[in-house]
Structure 1
Amino acid sequence: MSTYTVEDLLPRIQESTDAMDYPMAYAYCEKALQLAPTDTRILETMGQVEIELEKFADARQHFLQAIQLQPDTGYSKYMYLGQLSVEMEAIGAFQKGVDLMMMEYQQQQQEEETAQLLADKIASALCSMTEIYLTDCCFEPDAEQKCETYLQQAQQVNPNNAEVYQLLASVRLSQQRNEEAAKILEESIGFWIEKEVGDPSIPNYDARLGLVKLLLEVGMIPQAFTVLERLQKENDQVVDLWYLYGWTYYCMGEDTSGDDRLTHWEDARDCLELALKLSQVSGYDDDALLEHAKELITSINTVVPPSAPEEEVEVLPDDEADYVSDNDDAMEM
């Protein structure tokens, strides 16, 4: 390895990362940095590998080095730094990355596929910035206006991005504008609900789980079931899926009465109990969700008592079974 050049090492790093052999990729990166400590390609790649190895502080330092050496080209390092930063520092990193992407986007608009990929990345970065102002920076005096501005920019660049509309609905809910939120959620779902699995316009699994929570918040129960059914077909071993199924059935029961309520709440209990069982198998650690699932089950049990467990049938030895059978025949005679 001592005779390798940086150009020799770069494809080896790529091969290792493609194979998800991050320790080997890290070793190659270390050697490459010894040979070329100011090569921004190596610094950025090292940062990406360190993220996979959960060496977050080291990754952050390598991205900062790359930015110092090459501040006005290459948006990726700013996106990674934004993810590794908090509050206004994260906003600053994402903003610089968005500025660089916008410059490239304007140059690439003739290349439709490349322009669409950039538009997706720009929208995603603007959504990340919005979420920071909704959470960590929510007390900033201009937080609400920043959310509106970022989401408006995202819609202009990528008008059919479901993630953008979903986040806009979340902002409207925080403003207690629930009717507007419901309309926006309907529009968001419409962008992808008829698409085949694997279509890039479909939000990722976790995003759609978040969508179900928003739908329940505005009382869109049929739409919540539609999203859950699609998620179940993709992966039915997810704790959150069955928790949300249970919560949705519970909400449906609250809106009905009589036998319908009992049926919906029995279905809710089945789903919630399955969520708890899956959590034990998978080592799931969202304590608040699990506690809410237990609370819902307890509430249901006060109205719909759980069925008594079926008695186990005792398996008798052959000779005793014959004896019982003979006696049964005798009784019939």
Structure 2
Amino acid sequence: MGLTKKKAARKTAKKEKAASASATDVPSLLDKANVLLAQSNFDLAIKFLERALELEPGNLEARELAGVAELEGGDVDRGRAHLLHLFPPHAAANPDSPSPYLYLAQTADGPEEALGYYSTATAMIENALNAKGKGRAGEEDEEELRKMALTAIVAMIEIWMSDLCFEEAASSNCDGLVARALSISPNDPEALMALASIRMSQSKFDDAKEVVLKIYRDMEGRDPFDPMLPPLPVRLQFTRLLLEHGLHMEALDVITTGREEDSLEVESAYLEGWTWHLRAQTLEEAPTQNWADMDDDEEPMNADECYAESLRALLEAAKLFTEQDYPDEGIGSHLQELIGGLQKRGVKPAVHAVEDEGEDDGDVEMS
């Protein structure tokens, strides 16, 4: 009996020691930090990661997570400092994961530095995709890698089309990059949108419009919550692209999915109002123009009706803008300009607008 009691006591002591260690050992700290990062609790995640680095200063996982947490929490300098510790001379070799390169690219001091990090990350991801194509990983992992590669390639295209647009090799580099993106995912909407933008910059307007219509056909008729639809931010960007080509009906079709998915999204409401406004202007210039896909038993909307729909959506956007203290000043000033212009014309919001929100014929103050 005495021996049994001693064994039980030793087991209890071991359990207590293990429990105590689990609160402070590095793997447990990293597990907790990962959970906190997933919850966007960056400040607390940083505290756990700082403790992990105190215990193991050379732990690369802790260092990378600390960099990510600092960047996501808003401290770019500290985040970059942590990530740069993953490279020589602080580490024995360069990171074998693309993630640090992608984060450093997003916070680079200049376009050339960003391109360098993006290029390295993309090459690593493409190599991983080739390996997975030989049956070394699951489909879910492969899809995630494709998304990472596309994000990096599209980012590089944007750099060449903005910061480096006057470089002699800009056009050819964009062509090469978008070809890589489409080889990874031929029907990806962001890659196709990049292709359309490239063709526009090359003054190949018909080719650009053809690409835009192809993207639209892939979205057309889908339910707002259809998982095959691109994420809402992509649809908002695509709506703007449709408007560049004067495709107002198609733009309204796409933006409607955004309004139904999130009725509190400021940019969706703004883009709906702006699209109706552009449609009204087009009808004023060509009053006989009808909707392309309108049912036979429906009357085409005239310019006045479109302006009324525009004011309805713009007033809603202005209200949301003020309530949310929305940070995009460009949208705010354009809303004021459009609403003011419509009110001077004597336009009244469409009859199905909300009437009990204290808007009094559309008078809205925006700060």
TM-score range normalised by the length of the shorter chain: 0.7 to 0.9
Measured after TM superposition, the shift of residue 53 of structure 1 is 1.6
CA distance, structure 2, for counterparts of residue 286 and residue 20 of structure 1: 23
- 1:157-168 maps to which residues of 2 (within 5 A)? 157-168=184-195
Name the amino acid aligned to 2:275: T
Aligned to 1:44: 64
Query: Do residues 210 (structure 1) and 237 (structure 2) align?
Result: yes
Name the amino acid aligned to 1:184: V
Aligned to 1:294: 336
1:187 to 202, 206, 214: 214
Deviations 1:236-276 (A, max 9, x none): 11221121111111111112246811111111112112211
Name the amino acid aligned to 2:77: A
CA distance, structure 1, for counterparts of residue 360 and residue 131 of structure 2: 68
Aligned to 2:114: 90
Aligned to 1:139: 166
Contact 2:86 2:95 in 1 (8 A): no
Name the amino acid aligned to 2:105: G
Query: Do residues 276 (structure 1) and 303 (structure 2) align?
Result: no
Shifted more, 169-178 versus 48-57: the winner is: 169-178
Aligned to 2:94: 71
Contact 1:46 1:59 in 2 (8 A): yes
The number of equivalent residue pairs is 310
Shifted more, 115-124 versus 294-303: the winner is: 294-303
Query: Do residues 256 (structure 1) and 276 (structure 2) align?
Result: no
Distance 1:199 1:123, change over 3 A: farther
2:151 to 117, 121, 124: 124
Distance 1:305 1:112, change over 3 A: closer
- Cα root mean square deviation, aligned: 2.4
Measured after TM superposition, the shift of residue 309 of structure 1 is 5.2
Contact 1:161 1:191 in 2 (8 A): no
Distance 1:114 1:306, change over 3 A: closer
Shifted more, 34-43 versus 296-305: the winner is: 296-305
The percentage of counterpart residues that share the same residue type is 25
Aligned to 1:171: 198
Contact 2:223 2:257 in 1 (8 A): no
Name the amino acid aligned to 1:283: D
Query: Do residues 103 (structure 1) and 97 (structure 2) align?
Result: no
What residue ranges of structure 1 are gaps of 5+ in the alignment? 311-333
Measured after TM superposition, the shift of residue 146 of structure 1 is 1.5
Measured after TM superposition, the shift of residue 201 of structure 1 is 4.8
Aligned to 1:11: 31
Measured after TM superposition, the shift of residue 141 of structure 1 is 2.5
CA distance, structure 2, for counterparts of residue 200 and residue 270 of structure 1: 29
Deviations 1:198-236 (A, max 9, x none): 666532212211111110110111110110110011101
Instruction: Select the structure that is richer in helix.
Output: 1
